[in-house]
């Protein structure tokens, strides 16, 4: 007599994961309660399989804007509240699109700065403490950015103190804006090298395109592409939830 339930290996094969991943997701509460046979086998259903597919799709790093909403939607679905899960999936899509909007605004600011809009005017060069207070940064951060090659700061010939000019302040504002928008130091440095080399074209591409000899360490090294991929993943999560709702006749 053929079995009328799915086993752990069946679920793993259907979703494309290791059986241990299925067991872990059960342990972490990402799947509905799974009944056992008299011989101790887990008896999965198609509903478990589709929930596993949802969880595996949703719970993949990175999580632009934060992971909490993704966890909440997976757990809501595991408890059978697919309507709430779908609502949270749309919240996550909005969260990603907000990150995209911030990223786009940062690159527009960069382009306007390169064009010479609103240059910084100072009565005199600023020391590092004054600069940190003006930009709401720490002196440690300013030193790190200089050490990383994002900016070269002149020194007072009499005492060796750093002297930040209006041009330096403008550049630091751009760096700070790009960092807040999610770009990595490496991505900004890549763009800075191009800009300092006299090429002010396609700076968005430079921010998002690692060179052939460049190691990609974080997703923020190609942040725009990362956000586009995560937007598609959120749309795929929504589509999966809509299929699950349709399967339940909802």
**What pLDDT, on the 0 to 100 scale, is given for residue 1?**
37
pLDDT band, very low/low/confident/very high, at 217 (cuts 50, 70, 90): low
**Euclidean distance between CA atoms 70 and 49, whole angstroms:** 19
Is the whole-model pTM more than 0.85? yes
* Adjacent-strand bridge partners of 162: 155
Measured in degrees and rounded to the nearest 5, phi and psi for residue 36 equal: -115, 150
pLDDT band, very low/low/confident/very high, at 216 (cuts 50, 70, 90): low
- Cβ atoms of 56 and 208 within 8 Å: the answer is no
**Euclidean distance between CA atoms 51 and 15, whole angstroms:** 10
* Interacting residues of 2 by C-beta distance below 8 A, sequence separation 6+: none
Mean pLDDT over each residue of the chain, to the nearest integer: 93
Compute CA distances 133 → 54, 84, 137, whole Å: 47, 44, 6
pLDDT band, very low/low/confident/very high, at 41 (cuts 50, 70, 90): confident
With 50 as the cut, is the pLDDT of residue 248 above it? yes
Mean pLDDT of 12-27: 96
Bond preceding residue 170 cis, omega within 30 of 0: no
Coil, strand or helix at 115: coil
Q: What are the tokens at 90?
A: 């749309």
Q: What is the second-level CATH architecture of the domain 1-49?
A: Orthogonal Bundle (1.10)
pLDDT band, very low/low/confident/very high, at 210 (cuts 50, 70, 90): confident
Q: What are the tokens at 86?
A: 């779908």
Domain parsing of the chain, residue ranges: 1-49
With 80 as the cut, is the pLDDT of residue 45 above it? yes
Question: What sign for the dihedral angle of Cα 171, 173, 176, 178?
Answer: negative
**What pLDDT, on the 0 to 100 scale, is given for residue 139?**
97
pLDDT band, very low/low/confident/very high, at 3 (cuts 50, 70, 90): low
pLDDT in tens, 49-69: 999 999 999 999 999 999 999
């Amino acid at each position: 007599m053929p079995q009328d339930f799915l086993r752990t290996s069946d679920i793993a094969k259907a979703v494309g994961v290791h059986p241990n991943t299925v067991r872990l997701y059960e342990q972490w509460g990402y799947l509905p309660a799974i009944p056992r046979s008299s011989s101790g086998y887990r008896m999965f259903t198609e509903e478990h399989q589709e929930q596993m597919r949802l969880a595996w799709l949703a719970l993949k790093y990175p999580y632009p804007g934060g992971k909490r909403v993704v966890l909440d939607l997976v757990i809501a679905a595991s408890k059978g509240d697919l309507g709430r899960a779908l609502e949270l999936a749309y919240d996550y899509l909005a969260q990603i699109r907000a990150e995209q909007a911030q990223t786009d605004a940062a690159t527009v600011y960069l382009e306007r700065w390169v064009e010479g809009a609103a240059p910084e005017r100072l009565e005199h060069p600023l020391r590092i403490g004054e600069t940190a207070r003006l930009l709401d940064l720490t002196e440690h951060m300013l030193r790190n950015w200089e050490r990383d090659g994002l900016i070269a700061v002149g020194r007072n010939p009499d005492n060796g103190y750093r002297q930040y000019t209006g041009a330096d302040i403008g550049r630091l504002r751009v760096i700070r804006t790009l960092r807040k928008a999610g770009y990595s130091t490496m991505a900004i440095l890549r763009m800075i090298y191009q800009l300092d080399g006299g090429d002010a074209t396609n700076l968005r591409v430079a921010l998002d395109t690692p060179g052939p000899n460049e190691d990609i360490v974080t997703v923020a090294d190609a942040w725009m592409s990362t956000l586009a991929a995560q937007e598609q993943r959120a749309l795929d999560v929504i589509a999966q939830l809509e299929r699950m709702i349709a399967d339940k006749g909802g």
